[in-house]
């Protein structure tokens, strides 16, 4: 008898935490989504006054102010207030400490590179010349101190007439084609002279190298590199007063804005401007040039692309539903890639054959036309189809552990989907 009473007591104790959770949150309205008062990535879905606890995907937080159905957003877009707690991080790599979000490079000395993480898959991105990634705002900003350690001197600088220089310039210690300028005397930025020009400290501006004789090769003997005005993969090295013509590896182009010693970079990272010419290509196999990111040679296969390094290809695949976009070197939605033969225009088919039903407008329970109707996948309960404006098909995927609920037109817990 005592053993039975002990078992009953233990069972009641196990039920207490769940009862406390239910009792703690009261639905403000019969229907809607409402934030947890303590945890920023937790929220409650209220239906007929009953609350169901939910979590945003790892790395995102709940924003009660937005009008979208999916109210989980990037942390830098949301004012969490006193909701400081978060779910345990689920990231599996140094690049994605959480499965979703924008994160700094794990090496703190690399400030211009950051990662966009979506469901644990990282995409490396770079800030434009001179900017650093700021994780708090999710944007690239000007640093208080440049990567090379330069800070604006505290002393006020005057011109020859004794007037205060509002935005003073300072020479670069080792590269004569570059210089520093301090906005309002306090905000450091790196400046760069035009091709084949160097900074003249006496004139406080860029000048012809012959007018700055100590600068061909740098103040400490460092090489100077200048872009060719017409050919984007050609550049010139200036050392000890001698100029030598050079070419980037086939497929790469010269980036004069790069701070790296090797200034040859991927085409999509460089603004060639009027430098339209390129060296003749040296194709090998599926690589039209020996270096770069290239689409599959079959124009109907849009989700596969190749990373070519010195003529050796590595086959890569975009995540479900995306197409490779060569101008940006990334995977994007089909309508953004706009590739012929595989684009997702009206009434087109996806790779698995799905096509948005024609002349079959889908209605909700109130008899209203659904602008972007969903349809279940025939074989995979975690997937579904979205028809933008009823005619443009895309494939959607539920979060891990969720399945598509056709009745609710959204992803749901498996126990709520009959037949799962």
Higher-scoring residue by pLDDT: 26, 148 = 26
DSSP string for 74-124: -GGG---TT--B-PPP---SSS-SSSSEEEE-SSTT--SEEEEEETTEEEE
**144 and 150 in contact (C-beta within 8 Å)?**
no
In CATH, which of 1.10.3720.10, 1.10.10.10, 2.170.140.10, 2.60.40.1120 is domain 282-336?
2.170.140.10
**Structure confidence at residue 180 as a pLDDT band (50, 70, 90):** very high
Query: Looking at residues 299-327, what average pLDDT do you find?
Result: 89
Range in 24-33, 49-58, 139-148, 167-176 the model is least confident about:
139-148
| Tokens describing residue 26 | 């009261």
Range in 114-118, 166-170, 257-261, 287-291 the model is least confident about:
257-261
The domain ranges of the chain are 32-77, 101-141, 217-280, 282-336, 345-419
8: helix, coil or strand?
helix
DSSP string for 16-58: HHHHHHHHH---SSSSEEEE-SSBTTEEEEEETTEEEEEEPPT
Higher-scoring residue by pLDDT: 240, 411 = 411
pLDDT digits (tens, 9 = 90+) for 167-179: 899 988 877 788 9
| Tokens describing residue 47 | 């239906």
4: helix, coil or strand?
helix
Q: What pLDDT score was predicted for residue 286?
A: 93
Higher-scoring residue by pLDDT: 214, 206 = 206
- Average pLDDT of the chain is 84
Query: Looking at residues 397-407, what average pLDDT do you find?
Result: 90
Q: Is 0.85 topped by the overall pTM?
A: no
pLDDT at residue 8 tops 50: no
**Structure confidence at residue 417 as a pLDDT band (50, 70, 90):** confident
Q: Residue 76 phi/psi, 5° resolution? A: -75, -10
Q: What pLDDT score was predicted for residue 252?
A: 97
pLDDT at residue 216 tops 60: no
pLDDT at residue 217 tops 70: no
pLDDT digits (tens, 9 = 90+) for 328-365: 999 988 888 888 877 444 557 788 888 888 767 788 77
Q: What pLDDT score was predicted for residue 118?
A: 92
Q: What pLDDT score was predicted for residue 125?
A: 93
Strand partners, 164: 158
User: In this structure, what is the dihedral angle of CA atoms 160, 161, 163, 169, given to the nearest 10 degrees?
Assistant: -20
pLDDT digits (tens, 9 = 90+) for 376-390: 999 999 999 988 767
Range in 4-8, 39-43, 137-141, 257-261 the model is least confident about:
4-8
- CATH classification code of 345-419: 2.170.140
pLDDT digits (tens, 9 = 90+) for 72-129: 999 999 999 999 999 999 998 999 999 999 999 999 888 889 999 999 999 999 988 6
| Alpha carbon 124 to chain centroid, angstroms | 7
Q: What pLDDT score was predicted for residue 204?
A: 85
Q: What pLDDT score was predicted for residue 219?
A: 44
Domains 217-280 and 345-419 share a fold: yes
pLDDT at residue 3 tops 60: no
pLDDT at residue 395 tops 80: yes
| Alpha carbon 117 to chain centroid, angstroms | 7
- CATH classification code of 217-280: 2.170.140
């Amino acid at each position: 008898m005592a053993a039975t009473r002990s078992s009953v007591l233990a069972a009641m104790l196990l039920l207490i935490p769940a009862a406390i959770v239910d009792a703690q949150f009261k639905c403000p309205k019969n229907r809607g989504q409402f934030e947890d008062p303590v945890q920023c990535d937790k929220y409650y879905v209220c239906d007929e006054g009953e609350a169901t606890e939910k979590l945003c995907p790892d790395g995102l937080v709940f924003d009660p102010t937005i009008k979208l159905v999916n109210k989980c957003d990037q942390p830098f877009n949301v004012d969490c207030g006193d909701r400081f707690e978060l779910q345990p991080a689920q990231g599996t790599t140094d690049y994605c400490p959480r499965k979703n979000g924008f994160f700094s490079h794990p090496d703190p000395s690399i400030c211009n590179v950051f990662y966009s993480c979506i469901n644990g898959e990282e995409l490396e991105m770079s800030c434009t010349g001179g900017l650093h990634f700021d994780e708090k705002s999710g944007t690239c900003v000007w640093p208080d101190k440049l990567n090379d350690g330069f800070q604006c001197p505290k002393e006020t600088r005057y011109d020859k007439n004794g007037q205060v220089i509002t935005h003073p310039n300072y020479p670069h210690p080792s590269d004569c084609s570059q210089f520093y300028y301090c906005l309002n005397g306090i905000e450091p930025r790196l400046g760069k002279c035009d091709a084949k020009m160097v900074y003249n400290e006496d004139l406080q501006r860029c000048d012809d190298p012959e007018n700055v004789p100590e600068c061909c090769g740098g103040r400490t003997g460092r090489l100077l590199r200048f872009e060719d005005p017409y050919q984007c993969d050609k550049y010139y090295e200036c050392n000890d007063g001698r100029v030598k013509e050079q070419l980037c590896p086939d497929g790469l182009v010269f980036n004069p804005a790069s701070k790296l010693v090797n200034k040859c970079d991927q085409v999509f990272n460089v603004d060639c401007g009027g430098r339209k010419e390129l060296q003749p290509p040296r194709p090998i196999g599926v690589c039209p040039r020996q270096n770069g990111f290239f689409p599959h040679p079959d124009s109907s296969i849009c989700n596969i692309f190749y990373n070519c390094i010195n003529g050796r290809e590595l086959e890569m695949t975009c995540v479900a539903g995306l197409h490779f976009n060569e101008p940006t070197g990334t995977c994007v939605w089909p309508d953004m890639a706009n590739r012929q033969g595989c684009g997702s225009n009206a009434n087109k088919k996806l790779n698995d054959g799905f096509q948005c039903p024609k002349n079959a407008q889908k209605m909700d329970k109130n008899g209203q036309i659904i602008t972007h109707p969903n349809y279940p996948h025939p074989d995979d309960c975690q997937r579904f189809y979205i028809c933008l404006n009823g005619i443009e098909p895309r494939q959607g995927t539920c979060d891990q552990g969720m399945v598509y609920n056709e009745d609710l037109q959204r992803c749901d817990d498996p126990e709520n989907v009959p037949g799962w």
